[in-house]
Structure 1
């Protein structure tokens, strides 16, 4: 994804009212758009209508698409509105575009207010039925996914849906061993928290929800980001922020320290610990303390962040203190924090192949990051994923790795420039992708660096979550014949987005208007094909695909179609053509004999069957039997894993990973962190097999090279003169 600025002159705005609808909203809050937001909506529409790859006029047809997308955003599972609400709101169906152009967002905000009212009513109803308990001997069922269901015809039908929803929540906790009293307390608090969250929704969030309905009605990857969302986006891309170096989560209504960043102010001070609860924040010594108890997490985080080298004072309720226990105040100086968890990382895996052991370097890439802001400031040392990977490749060379595996699983993309740069580390100079803009003009994007940083065997591990920049890289490696793509078919996103800062458009120095992330081009492989909808098909496939299109680009009903253009001019290597069939055969043999892969296939088949059925029993006997069967399966698998542990390696403590019925903010923090670590440390059979494929590639290419050298005919030896002998090298006369 590119990040750049567009400067345009905007047309004069239109004037006039838009119709609202005839339902009196009496919910917990009444949100209204500000004049600035109405202006931003119009400004955004001007930019989108001129520069979007698939620009559409804001007419009645487009309004209908926005209306449908907005309803999906508000109530995608059809658990809040009833059909009468939809009928009442339908007056907005054809005029939402006019509402944007006329800078009158009363209608969209009325829809949002009705949503908050209905959501609050639902959570209140959920709390009201807890005291009565439930009969789990009946043969009721619960439908977990309702996206394709009809809107409830009446409030009575909606009550039935919610009764089943609460009954399922109760049963999950009951099966996990919780007492009825504990279950009632947990669920009461859960729904009360949800209802309070609805009450705390802001005008900014309502505006962003509507604006994203507008942009996503055009294509799935265009978005509006308010100033705070834009800041979070920049943090994710640059892998840095200014703060105290602590990650937080909500636990029991408190904003709680979840982890400390190594080297950050919080860890260096020794004053803050995991589990501490932040109940107040002050902007420097002597400044008033603002109570943040009951605040939403993001609001508290914003108060703690600030400018570098400034002081923040925190009012702390220690992790081991009761809610009315003694507090302490600590002062910390904010610093720039590098978010290394999102950066490129390397490990080395040993792969045994008969009598040969090869070392395969694995580089994991969570995202294609680049610090655009530092780059625009002229900082020559701006953070770059390509630079980080180049350094890691140098270290792997020094360590004499036999091959490199790039792990792009669940990497949703990022900087387009980084995708080009990463490709160049393995291919050197040459085209990487082609872009076609809205006018149909095609540009070939090439890497211009002097040479490759790694010329040895390469593998690229992808899955259904590998998208955009990940697909550009994987496709280029495949088209050049430079390496082997392994795993499952990728996401299928073949579009390019650019970010447009709306404040810069109007030359505002203070961030107030937000940014647009907008589709401006479609990218194509250098072979002329596109990853759009179809993704990148691996050379060596794993049996891990769910066989459905609901996890990729094809799941969006407004995704761009698959098309093809002329290939670019590039020179592909043919050395892998004869090797890939053998890699497929060897991998298939290993996978067939691996119980871990068989377990994955069984789990996928079970998941797909349940998803297709879309029906869960609310009968305790049935559910308990299902749970016991699941526990037996997982325990048996754990026993097999323990039995196969290498000599001298302590077996892991058996875990069954059974559903505990809790949400993330309801679990004990220590237990949750331990479970997360255990999952992280668990054997990754997909990564192991992918490394084995790269090892096979290295071995087969070595054989290929030896055979090629052996096939070269030796130069005939010249005839020797009679009586002349050739002396051994190094001999004297």
Structure 2
């Protein structure tokens, strides 16, 4: 978890103006005994059972310190150089602190961080009543992760003066008047300031343990109780609650969405925009006011056991602050998070006078309800089961090819990646694993015959990682389908989750869980997806910054290596089709204005990244916006991830809910240039395979005639 002022509204609640901020410093946080014990137990486990054990010594101690500081102040805008000098004096003592179960060092750093947030936000609010000159030629650094920390308070003040000026200018360029800008920014900085008063020791400990575990390798993690629960929910795609997506808006916990079929939606008692001001447990338990309470705490209060009752004090969406409240009762039930499940669509692709039907299966994650499977539930939820069902439906739809969209699929269950590969290649090896002792194990799928034998393609991007890479690599190695997109993430390591409370034989949970790297993946061809990822057969442009995103961006990633190939037999010869597929792709995109605009937008985006600064001169900024708007005048809206011309200067929680939802819906309806081109490539593949099949049949017929 990165605790930075720019992201806080995502994770924490927005407090009302209930704190008398001028009365003093934020609370001083101290470690709990169980946290120090959990850190020590984690260290013992990591130094003995990790795939590549790293000793907890002075060298690792320094890395932990650097990562912890970076997680708090990644852009070096809060701490002063004097703070850093003081922190680093203890940089070689973190190892001793963990072994001695004394976490005062990271907690003391965090307490300074809290105070710096209060100082900087108070200063920023004070600037809002001063006149700002936008005719001056000066720049604001958008990225400062490599810059020195401010040497003095005066230097920090100047940095924050420019930050406020940039925030103001963005709103001004979006058409806001001075009064509205002042109100918006004052509220924004006040909210960030107030959050400094709401941190708990769990936040500090989670951040510190993140710094420790990721100093060993990028994918070893620590889960406190809350993080562990969220991980379980993401894997089984279900939870027990009322079926409502909550968001903090205007000091209230607000209903952003009602999950179809959930208790909240079925009751008819709640609507999008309604605000929760109190929560009570049971049919007659007291209602506890929650205005100003952290969002994560309110969520935990509303979740509970299936069949139990939760009562909510609701301020209706259309009521003013002094409007009439109503109390509603809901019975908690199991909620299926279908938005994150596999889904299908059919894309028509013009091919001369004919139209080919391409079935698209979008898979956001390789999920699996481990608990239900362990209990022997025949209908347990999993990615491969859902995909198999969708493939059956697409067969009935008589599609000409199937495209698996794995963009931004960060992985999940290894067994699901194996089972899903079997849907397309049948029985055989899928991936190899090497453990810390060097033992190599071949993981196989035992499905007797594939479910889909027709034309296949897999769409990946830099966000496709882990299980996604195992699946894509296997499809590529078997020659079963064409891999399209940009090089994948490059995560070729295996993790397992260890319950520290079980290790310690605790009767009640208090230590949390470790996600530990225990092995490395290898493709059936002997290579690894580690570091290099899966290289597509047909490359498409991508938005990712490879320097900052992907395995190669980590300074402690494992190197690429290889082992002997597994005993497998390719089931297709896609390589023979690639030259013609590439030629058709090149010709098609050359004449496609949407695709060319996508490429131009990526060029602009990369130029902005390289620039790293933005002008604070109003005339220059207006000219830049005009140039961007002119480039976007013609053509439909495309899904290119570049919204530079539509910047309203607001953060999500500062827009009205209706405006925010309208933006979200508009994004869903824009052209997906890459998906459309991937579907066209698959249509070409289907055409070429059909032609090859006709040729083979004709040649076979000629041979039969000669006999």
Once the two structures are TM-superposed, the CA of residue 379 in structure 1 deviates from its matched residue by: 2.2
CA distance in 2, matches of 1:425, 1:574: 15
Deviations 1:179-225 (A, max 9, x none): 11111111111011011112111100100100110000011111111
What is the CA–CA distance in structure 2 between the aligned matches of 1:425 and 1:507, rounded to whole Å? 41
> C-alpha deviations, 1:429-459, integer Å up to 9, x for none?
1111111111221111111122211111100
Note if 1:328 corresponds to 2:326.
yes
How far apart are 1:383 and its partner, in Å? 1.0
CA distance in 2, matches of 1:680, 1:603: 19
CA distance 1:140–1:381, shift in 2 (3 Å): same
* CA RMSD, Structure 1 to Structure 2 (Å): 1.7
C-alpha contact (below 8 Å) 1:403/1:694 kept by paired residues: yes
Counterpart CA distance in 1 for 2:207 and 2:549 is 22
Aligned mates of 1:72, 1:593 — CA distance in 2 = 46
2:443 is paired with a residue whose SS is strand
Q: TM-score, normalised by structure 2?
A: 0.94
- Partner of 1:347: helix, strand, or coil? strand
Distance 1:166 1:59 in 2: 42
Provide the secondary structure at the position in 2 that maps to 1:464: coil
Q: Identify the residue that residue 229 of structure 1 maps to in structure 2.
A: 227
2:265 to 245, 264, 267: 267
CA distance in 2, matches of 1:94, 1:427: 52
Matched positions, count:
681
CA distance in 2, matches of 1:680, 1:670: 15
Q: Which residue of 2 aligns with 1:415?
A: 413
- Contact in 1 for aligned 2:462/2:549 (Cα 8 Å): yes
What is the SS of the residue equivalent to 2:222?
A: strand
Matched, 1:550 2:548: yes
Partner of 1:707: 695
CA deviations over 1:353-396 (Å, ceiling 9, x no partner) = 11222111100000110111222333232211111111111111
Q: For residue 692 of structure 1, what is the aligned residue in structure 2?
A: 680
Name the stretch that deviates more: 451-460 or 547-556.
547-556
Q: Secondary structure at the match of 2:471?
A: helix
Match of 1:148 in 2: 146
Q: Which moved more, 1:37-46 or 1:499-508?
A: 499-508
8 A Cα contact 1:546 1:608, kept in partner: no
Note if contact 1:274-1:319 (Cα within 8 Å) is conserved in structure 2.
yes
2:653 aligned partner:
665
Is the contact made by 1:467 and 1:491 (CA closer than 8 Å) also made in structure 2? yes
Contact 1:27–1:118 (8 Å) recurs in 2 = no
Matches within 5 A, 1:215-614: 215-544=213-542, 548-614=546-612
SS of the residue aligned with 2:277?
strand
* Distance in structure 2 (CA, Å) of the matches to 1:547 and 1:526: 29
Q: Give the whole-Å Cα distance in 2 for the aligned partners of 1:79 and 1:363.
A: 43
Unpaired runs of 5+ residues, structure 1, are 1-25, 642-654, 720-733
Q: Is the 8 A contact 2:500 2:513 kept in 1?
A: yes
SS at match of 1:530: coil
Distance 1:716 1:308, change over 3 A: closer
Q: Quick check: which has more Rg, 1 or 2?
A: 1
Contact 1:489 1:545 in 2 (8 A): no
Closer/same/farther in 2, CA of residues 338 and 574 from structure 1, 3 Å limit: closer
| Structure 2 Cα separation of the partners of residues 168 and 78 of structure 1 | 17
Q: TM-score, normalised by structure 1?
A: 0.91
Aligned partners of 2:526 and 2:99: how far apart in 1?
39
Deviations 1:26-61 (A, max 9, x none): 841111111111111111111111111121111101
Q: Which residue of 2 aligns with 1:674?
A: 662
Distance 1:261 1:509, change over 3 A: farther
Mapping of residues 613-632 of structure 1, within 5 Å = 613-632=611-630
Q: How does 1:110-149 map to 2 (within 5 A)?
A: 110-149=108-147
> What residue is the counterpart of 1:51 in the other structure?
49
Q: Is the 8 A contact 2:421 2:430 kept in 1?
A: yes
Question: What are the Cα deviations for residues 524-572 of structure 1, in whole angstroms up to 9, with x where unaligned?
Answer: 1111111111111111111336574322111111111111111111101
Structure 2 gaps of 5+ residues are 1-23
CA shift, 1:484, in A, is 0.4
Q: Any conservation in 2 of the 1:471–1:490 contact (CA below 8 Å)? A: yes
Cα distance in 2, alignment partners of residues 667 and 396 from structure 1: 40
Task: Provide the rounded CA distance (Å) in 2 between the counterparts of 1:585 and 1:718.
Answer: 37
* d(CA) in 2 for partners of 1:716, 1:237: 55
- Greater shift, 691-700 or 542-551, is seen at 542-551
Secondary structure of the corresponding residue to residue 506 of structure 2: coil
Output the CA distance in 2 between the equivalents of 1:718 and 1:155: 93
Structure-2 separation of matches of 1:141 and 1:46: 48
- Are the aligned partners of 1:313 and 1:331 in contact in 2 as well (CA < 8 Å)? yes
The 10-residue stretch of structure 1 (140-149 or 495-504) with the greater mean CA deviation from structure 2: 495-504
Residue equivalent to 1:175? 173
Distance 2:544 2:386 in 1: 34
> Residue deviations 1:110-133, cap 9 Å, x none?
111111111121111111111113
Tell me the secondary structure at the aligned position of residue 637 of structure 1: coil
Selected match of 2:85 from 87, 90, 101: 87
The answer as to 2:189 corresponding to 1:201 is: no
Query: Displacement, 1:405?
Result: 0.3
Deviates more, 1:205-214 or 1:540-549: 540-549
The 8 Å contact of residues 625 and 645 in structure 2, kept in 1 or not, is answered as no
Query: Could you tell me how far 1:635 is from its partner in structure 2?
Result: 2.4
Partner of 2:8: none
Q: Distance in 2 between matches of 1:573 and 1:660?
A: 52
Verify the 8 A CA contact 1:587 1:693 in the aligned structure 2: yes
Alpha-carbon distance in structure 1 between the residues aligned to 2:387 and 2:653: 35
Once residues 482 and 47 of structure 1 are traced to their aligned partners in structure 2, the CA distance between those partners, rounded to angstroms, is 41
Shift of 1:718: 10
For the structure 1 residues 351 and 288, does the alpha-carbon distance in structure 2 shift closer, same or farther, using more than 3 Å as the test? same
Find the aligned partners of 2:135 and 2:451 in 1 and give their Cα distance.
66
Kept in 2: contact 1:313–1:330 (CA 8 A): yes
State the shift of 1:500 in Å.
0.8
- Structure 2: how far apart are the matches of 1:421 and 1:716? 40
Deviates further, 553-562 or 474-483: 553-562
Q: Which residue does the alignment assign to 1:633?
A: 631
Contact 1:235–1:241 (8 Å) recurs in 2: yes
Q: Distance in 2 between matches of 1:118 and 1:684?
A: 43
